[in-house]
């Protein structure tokens, strides 16, 4: 078995682990800092909206011995507006000029044809009205609102309302960061960007739902034992699915990274840039939020319940009593206070330490048969 596979098996069995939940305040602070940075970027720089939202014209030229700066200068002189020029993989160029009417677009097309030394008809010109982009934006907002409502309803039914609230907060966190990155890097927001943002919604929830499902299964009859608090169980659920989350995220990020850095950067494909950047940032943020935001939030909300408060009090009292006697609960045998509930291989360590240490040599696991 590979080293990563062996680590995954040990994490799943609870032999090793990292206490994510105990350090949740630190992760919350990191997320708040990143989110504030994204919001400030949006407020100060704003989004660089494409011509699909502002209106204008897009000119596609054939391959020719003309530099980007020359094409930009010709387009700006003919139109009187700022032009954005991008080299295409075919050797041609894509020239965008905002806020053009038909007469201005014709003049730019003619000037470009002269500069490139080709017939006017070989310069493809597309006029876009701002109303079209506005319709796309309105439909995207409607789709986002409907999606979030359906997600909350589904998670509240399939799991519970606390998990639904935590997943919604994590989802808003991911979208805010993704949009903030667009504002900070100044990349154009196009319909491709909208498609990418809507696509990451499902990816963002995938890892979160996997952890929630493990947590739901592990926390059945949790109040009938005195070995673990709800936070302990939540932390074990994160660790048991950690390698799976890493694997699925890396596998998803690799082709998206190829689109972003090779397709968009090397080949100069504009639409690939628009979609791949939102997917790349959204996938990474979704994996982060499922581990460091969503599940710790559920633990915070859940431990406000009277039953969970009482359970935590009993667990801490038992641990204090064992510590006073100089004993350690290493899972070496059945716990008389566990009321027959199946337990894991090792007891969690104190908050902030590694959870689920190795079992002693020659000792039974303590797992119910």
Residues 317-358 pLDDT 10s: 998 988 888 755 444 333 434 443 344 443 443 333 333 333
Return the half-sphere exposure (C-beta side, CA atoms, 13 A cut-off) of residue 73: 7
362 falls in which pLDDT band (50, 70, 90)? very low
Sign for the pseudo-dihedral over CA of 254, 256, 257, 259: positive
Ordered by start, the domain boundaries in the chain are 3-49+132-302, 56-128
The beta strands (E) that lie in 149-249 are given as: 188-189
The beta strands (E) that lie in the chain are given as: 48-49, 56-61, 83-87, 93-98, 124-128, 188-189
Rg of the chain over all Cα atoms, to the nearest angstrom: 28
**If DSSP codes are grouped into helix, strand and coil, which group holds residue 103?**
helix
Q: How far apart are the first and last CA of the chain?
A: 27
Centroid of chain to Cα 234: 20
Query: What number is the average pLDDT over the span 21-44?
Result: 92
Query: What number is the average pLDDT over the span 112-121?
Result: 85
CATH class of 56-128: alpha beta
User: Where on the phi/psi map is residue 117: left (φ > 0), alpha (ψ -120 to 50), or beta?
Assistant: left
Residue 358 DSSP label: P
Question: How much is the pLDDT for 341?
Answer: 39
Report yes or no: 359 and 333 within 8 Å, Cβ to Cβ.
no
What is the pTM for the complete model shown?
Answer: 0.72
The residues near 12 (Cβ < 8 Å, ≥ 6 apart) are: 239, 240, 243
Distance of alpha carbon 60 from alpha carbon 85, whole angstroms: 10
Report yes or no: 11 and 250 within 8 Å, Cβ to Cβ.
no
Which tokens hold the place of 309? 């408060």
CB atoms within 10 A of CB 101: 11
The residue ranking higher by pLDDT, 297 or 249, is: 297
Which tokens hold the place of 128? 């876009």
Does 3-49+132-302 carry CATH code 3.30.2350.10?
no
Distance of alpha carbon 202 from alpha carbon 182, whole angstroms: 20
Using CA atoms, how far residue 162 sits from 20, 53, 131, 165, 336, in Å, is 19, 38, 40, 5, 32
Share in percent of the chain as helix, strand, coil (round to 5): 65, 5, 25
The pLDDT tens digits of the residues spanning 233-256 come to 999 888 888 888 888 888 888 888
């Amino acid at each position: 078995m590979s080293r990563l596979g062996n680590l995954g098996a040990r994490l799943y069995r609870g032999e090793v682990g990292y206490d994510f939940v105990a350090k949740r305040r630190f992760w919350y602070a990191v997320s708040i800092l990143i989110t504030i940075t994204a919001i400030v970027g949006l407020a100060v720089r704003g989004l660089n909206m494409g011509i699909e939202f502002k209106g204008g014209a897009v000119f596609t030229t054939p391959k020719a011995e003309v530099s980007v700066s020359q094409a930009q200068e010709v387009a700006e002189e003919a139109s009187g507006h700022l032009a954005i020029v991008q080299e295409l993989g075919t050797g041609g160029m894509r020239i965008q000029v905002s806020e053009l009417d038909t007469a201005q677009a014709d003049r730019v097309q003619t000037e470009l044809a002269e500069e490139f030394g080709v017939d006017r008809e070989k310069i493809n010109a597309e006029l876009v009205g701002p109303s079209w982009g506005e319709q796309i934006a309105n439909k995207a907002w409607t789709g986002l609102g409907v999606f979030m409502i359906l997600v909350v309803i589904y998670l509240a039914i399939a799991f519970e309302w606390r998990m639904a609230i935590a997943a919604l907060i994590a989802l808003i966190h991911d979208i805010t960061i993704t949009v903030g990155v667009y504002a900070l890097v100044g990349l154009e927001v196009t319909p491709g960007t909208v498609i990418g943002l809507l696509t990451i919604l499902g990816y963002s929830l995938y890892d979160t739902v996997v952890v929630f499902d493990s947590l739901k299964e592990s926390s059945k009859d949790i109040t009938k034992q005195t070995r673990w608090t709800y936070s302990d169980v939540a932390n074990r659920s994160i660790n048991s699915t950690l390698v799976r989350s890493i694997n699925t995220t890396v596998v998803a990020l690799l082709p998206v990274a190829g689109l972003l850095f090779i397709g968009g950067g090397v080949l100069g494909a504009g639409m690939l840039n628009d979609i791949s950047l939102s997917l790349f940032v959204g996938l990474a943020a979704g994996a982060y939020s499922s581990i460091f935001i969503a599940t710790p939030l559920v633990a915070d909300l859940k431990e406000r319940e009277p039953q969970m408060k009482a359970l935590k009090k009993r667990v801490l009292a038992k641990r204090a009593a064992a510590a006073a006697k100089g004993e350690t609960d290493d899972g070496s045998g059945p716990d008389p206070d566990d009321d027959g509930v199946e337990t894991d291989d090792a007891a969690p360590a104190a908050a902030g330490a590694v959870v689920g240490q190795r079992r002693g040599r020659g000792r039974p696991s303590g797992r119910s048969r």
